[in-house]
Amino acid sequence: MNGKSLLLRALRLQPNPRPPVWLMRQAGRYMAEYRAVRENVSFLDLCRNPRLCAQTMADAVGVLDVDAAIIFSDILPILVPLGFDLEYTPGGGPVIANPFRGEDDLARIPAALDPDRIGFVFETVSETRRAIPGEKALIGFAGAPWTLASYAVEGGSSRRFIHTKTLMRRNPRLWSALMDRLTDAAAVSLLGQIEAGADAVQIFDSWAGALGPADYETYVFPFMEKLLARLGGRVPVIYFAAGNPALLPAAARLDADAFGIDWRIPIERAWEIIGANRAVQGNLDPTVLLAGQETIFAETDRILNAVGSRPGFIFNLGHGVLKETPVENAVALVRRVKEFAVSSS
Ligand code: 1CP
């Protein structure tokens, strides 16, 4: 069975001969091919070059032989047509010169994003479809409203999210207005990617774990509900809220087809919380790939033995591949998962 079928069957909870496998951030600085591309082009220019994005991901898929490609792009370029001045510093970190801090900042954000402003993302989907083998699945993606808001309000990466949390508590009305616009933008992006040929989409809520469950319910959950309703079940949706397993009971009430799980909770325990009627993706700690092969295989086998034969399981890391990762370790991991056979008994 080919990789595309394995992934789509897992997302529909149909039995598979082995779990599908792909890695978050599977194309990136840990790969020589990617570093070579980046010698000649800035990161933002790369994101706006569909041909080069497609080639970048196709190269990574070729090296790893994973079952799925995610488009090469980023969650943040969508902030540019929303009126934010985004740059990536030479060190790689995103910086927004005009963060969202008050009432006045709302005026510059369109209430509805014109899809033509992010046409390069949709072209990346169609170019990537052409660049990868037909038997691989293609995944589109966007940042979740909360995670996008955290960059828009903090003005870059953050550890404590002070400005974002203060805004949401002090001015819930303005918070809702901002979140509505980010929700719309994410929906416009994902719907365009689906139209352009994405087999499934993933929503990255990378910093959801900065919130406790009550704040997640109040300030984030309603917008995730709206976003998923806009997508309307056209293709399977994977929701990845990282950082705090205590959010899982709330997140599991969302109408997503699959849930990404980080390494902070045993995957079988996460699946109990989420419920057997949804697919689950995860959850190897990315730092395991910095260890020796024996450790990599032991940790991989632990996950496979716990859930590898269950319909609806997708093998992945619990977060993105680290730039320090030896490529051969990522290759060995993928091969190990592919050797796992679900027994028919
Ligand atoms: O060359 C470089 O230095 C750029 C590094 C880089 C890369 C390779 C960034 C900057 N983004 C990406 C690609 C990327 N980002 C992909 C496609 C490639 C792939 O998956 O192989 C995807 C799906 C993302 C998604 C993304 N971007 C997320 C969600 C996933 C996650 O890791 O949590 C987030 C939070 C971002 C923001 C971002 N992009 C780049 C940086 C340095 C950051 C900030 C991260 C932070 O705040 O710590």
Domain boundaries, the chain: 6-344
Q: How far is the CA of 74 from the centre of ligand 1 (A)?
A: 6
Q: How far is the CA of 310 from the centre of ligand 1 (A)?
A: 30
Here the contacts of 44-50 (C-beta below 8 Å, separation 24 or greater) are 44/77, 44/86, 44/87, 44/88, 46/72, 47/72, 47/73, 47/74, 47/77, 47/120, 48/77, 48/120, 49/120, 50/120, 50/123, 50/124, 50/126, 50/127
- For residue 344, what pLDDT is reported? 60
Is a pLDDT exceeding 80 seen at residue 94? yes
What is the arithmetic mean of pLDDT over 79-106? 96
Q: Poorest-confidence range of 68-72, 132-136, 191-195, 339-343?
A: 339-343
What is the C-alpha to C-alpha distance for residues 274 and 256, in angstroms, rounded to an integer? 11
pTM over 0.95: yes
Residue with CA closest to ligand 1 atom 34? 75
Percent residues over pLDDT 70 in the chain: 99
The ligand 1 site (C-beta within 6 Å) comprises 24-29, 38, 43, 70, 72-76, 88, 92-94, 141, 157, 204, 206, 320
For residue 42, the tally of other CB atoms under 10 A from its CB is: 12
Q: How far is the CA of 222 from the centre of ligand 1 (A)?
A: 25
Query: Does 3.20.20.210 match the CATH number of domain 6-344?
Result: yes
What is the arithmetic mean of pLDDT over 9-35? 98
pLDDT band at 343 (very low <50, low <70, confident <90, very high): confident
9 has catalytic annotation: no
What is the C-alpha to C-alpha distance for residues 31 and 161, in angstroms, rounded to an integer? 31
Do 12 and 2 meet the contact criterion of CB atoms below 8 Å apart? no
pLDDT in tens, 265-312: 999 999 999 999 999 999 999 999 999 999 999 999 999 999 999 999
- For residue 92, what pLDDT is reported? 80
18 has catalytic annotation: no
What is the arithmetic mean of pLDDT over 9-14? 98
pLDDT in tens, 159-216: 999 999 999 999 999 999 999 999 999 999 999 999 999 999 999 999 999 999 999 9
Q: Which two tokens stand for residue 244?
A: 């705090």
What is the C-alpha to C-alpha distance for residues 261 and 283, in angstroms, rounded to an integer? 5
| Residue 2: closest CA among 63, 76, 61 | 61
Nearest atom in ligand 1 to the alpha carbon of residue 46 is: 1
108 has catalytic annotation: no
What is the arithmetic mean of pLDDT over 29-37? 97
160 has catalytic annotation: no
How big is the chain, counted in residues? 345
Q: How far is the CA of 72 from the centre of ligand 1 (A)?
A: 9
> Where do we find the tokens 């993105």?
320
pLDDT band at 140 (very low <50, low <70, confident <90, very high): very high
Is a pLDDT exceeding 90 seen at residue 91? no
What is the C-alpha to C-alpha distance for residues 30 and 66, in angstroms, rounded to an integer? 16
pLDDT averaged over every residue in the chain: 97
At position 342, the amino acid (one-letter code) is V
Is a pLDDT exceeding 90 seen at residue 85? yes
Is a pLDDT exceeding 80 seen at residue 345? no
